[in-house]
Amino acid sequence: MNRKLTQVELTVALSSIPPVLTPEEAARLLRVKISTLYRHVSEGRYRGAVKRGKPLRFWRDRLIQEFMQ
C-alpha cells in the first residue's frame, strides 16, 4: 500500500540530503543511471541544473519538482 508522505516526514527525509547535489548524488536520489540524468539535462528536462565552470550541480528542491512533473 503506497501512501503520500506528510509534510513532516518529507522535511525529515530531505534534511539528510544536501541542498546542492553533484550529478552522482542527483542520479542516486532520482534512482536513474547517471547517463540517463545527463541525457535529460541535454534535452532540457532539468532547468534546475547549474553549471559553474566545469562542474554540473543540481538544486535539490527544483530537481525533485521537475522530476515529478
CB-side neighbour CA atoms (13 Å) of 10: 7
Strand partners, 42: none
pLDDT band at 57 (very low <50, low <70, confident <90, very high): very high
Reported as a single tens digit per residue, the pLDDT across 19-53 is: 899 999 999 988 999 999 999 999 988 887 888 77
Q: CATH code at 49?
A: 3.90.105
Q: Positive or negative, the Cα torsion across 17, 18, 19, 22?
A: negative
pTM for this structure? Answer: 0.75
Asked if residue 10 is part of any domain, the answer here is no
Pick the closest to residue 58 from 33, 32, 29 (CA basis). 29
Query: Residue 65: what pLDDT?
Result: 85
Domain boundaries, position 43: 17-68
Asked if residue 49 is part of any domain, the answer here is yes
Residue 55 confidence (pLDDT) above 60 = yes
